[in-house]
Amino acid sequence: MDRLKGKRALITGGTSGIGLETARQFIAEGARVAVTGTNPETIEQAKKILGDQALVLRVDAGDSAGQAALAKTLADSFGQLDAVFLNAGVAQLAPIEQWDEAAWDRTFSINLKGPFFLVQALLPILANPASIVLNTSINARIGMPNSSVYAASKAGLISMARTLSGELIGRGIRVNAVSPGPVSTPLYGKLGFEQAELEKVASSIRAQVPAGRFGEPSEIAKAVVFLASDEASFTVGSELVIDGGMSNL
């Protein structure tokens, strides 16, 4: 239980779902952790769950101009970072006719633009060696109806994992990605469906998963722990698909 002993880590979107569970596992493995979020309620819940083991910050992942301020806060608190899990994201599903420019910009700002400029802002405080893990999605690999904008933003993250891995490995920074399939998190409750419709959508998605179920946040978190640890020191520019076989159909 000490695979991350002595490491200093940042987890964006770390106040609920996959991010919060990853923060719990990072702390259990010996890391000092900072997590970010925007919802005041989940921020307070995260403070109670993680206790004094974590620095919980209110930060908008889509505010590219605010990433430098976050980097400064982390430099003042931790000095350097050994691991970064860029997990914050939004999933808005809609047919192409219903998209407008503002909704497109919001998705790409949070899912792709913000993470890119956060990596840029963190470069001066990333240790050598260090690990960056991007949370992408199998939606970038499958042609799921109504996911065009979301999938495109996540495909950009997968590309970023590959290109930045080549660009940053000379500095001792490994960049990799996890691509989860459907996972039981509050994210699905934010899609704007009524409860009955949400259950219908969930049932339809579950039927497409060979494993016959949604994944659990802990299953994604364990993969992130591995990629952040020294056990993955030769893993560079990789995408770890964790989807119960959904993308193999």
Pairing between strand 81-86 and 8-11?
A: parallel
Measure the CA dihedral 31/32/38/39, to 10°.
Answer: 80
Q: How far is CA 123 from the centre of its chain?
A: 18
User: Alpha-carbon distance 61 to 110, whole Å?
Assistant: 5
What token pair was written down for 164? 């930045």
Q: Cα separation of 170 and 181, whole Å?
A: 31
Question: What's the longest Cα–Cα distance across the chain?
Answer: 51
- Annotation says 150 is catalytic: yes
Catalytic pick among 26, 78, 150, 214: 150
Q: How far apart are CA 126 and CA 71, in angstroms?
A: 10
Nearest to 4 by CA among 241, 227, 236, 243: 227
Which residues are the active-site residues? Answer: 150
